[in-house]
Structures are given as C-alpha cells and as structure tokens.
Amino acid sequence: MEEKLLKYCKYGLWGLMGIIVIILAICVVKGESSADLQMYMTYALVILLVLSILFSPIYGAIVNPGNLKKIGIAIGLFAVVALVAWLISPGATLSQEYLESMGITQGAEAVCDFLMMFVYIMLGGTIAAVIYSAVAKLFN
C-alpha cells in the first residue's frame, strides 16, 4: 500500500512540476496579457497544495494511529506561530494616501503584513532546524 502511495505521490509531483513549467512558458510567451490565466492556474496550484497538505496527515493517521499525537503537536505549533505572527505584525506601515492610490485597504495590508511575518518566522525556524540537525550529526 505504501509503495503504491509513494508511486502516486511521485507522479503527482512530476505532474505539478509540468504544470509549473507550462505556467512559466505561458508567462514568457504572452507577457502581461495572460495575467488572468496565470492567476487561475496559481489558484489551482494552491488548491492542490492545500488538498495535499490535508491528505497527508489524514493518511498518516490511518496508516499509523500512533502519529495522531505528533500531528496534534504540529498543528498546535503551527497555530501558535500564526498567532505570534499576527500579534507582532505591524499592520499599518503605509500611509493612507498611498493605500488609496494603489487601491489597497488597511485590512489587506494587515493580512499581507501578517503573512510576511509568518513566512519570516517559519523560515527562521527552518534554518534553525537545519543548523541544529547538522550540528547534532557532527556530535553523533
């Protein structure tokens, strides 16, 4: 069963890579005239990403119910990082005149600030985990 899933995941990843190459080719050939198509393709990729993110822990819980505790810890940690990012994001960094000239609301700016802070925190955590893993391997 796991070999089949691994095979399907491999084909799925190759398919996603192919879709990305097609999107990039369209971007290069059509330029800015294909902005709507690019956005719709990006939405489709995001939906596929979310579905794969949701499917992976569910499959892991079905195959090995002992992983439920680890999944719960990961979801809790994710929620804590999101909360911290929301609390420390500035939310109002641009002037009201600039926002109005660009057609952006203050709410959209707050969400963008939150997402940027969230990505920065996750990136920092990833770098710290890689460094910790490398140092731990040196001493083992």
Domain range summary for the chain, segments of one domain joined by +: 1-63, 66-140
pLDDT tens profile 99-140? 778 787 777 788 888 888 999 999 999 999 999 999 999 988
Mean pLDDT of the chain: 81
Q: Answer for the pair 38, 26: CB distance below 8 angstroms, yes or no.
A: yes
**What is this structure's pTM?**
0.58
46 pLDDT tier (thresholds 50, 70, 90): confident
Residue 5: C-alpha distances to residues 13, 51, 59, 115 (Å): 12, 15, 10, 32
CA distance linking residue 63 with residue 74, whole number of Å: 18
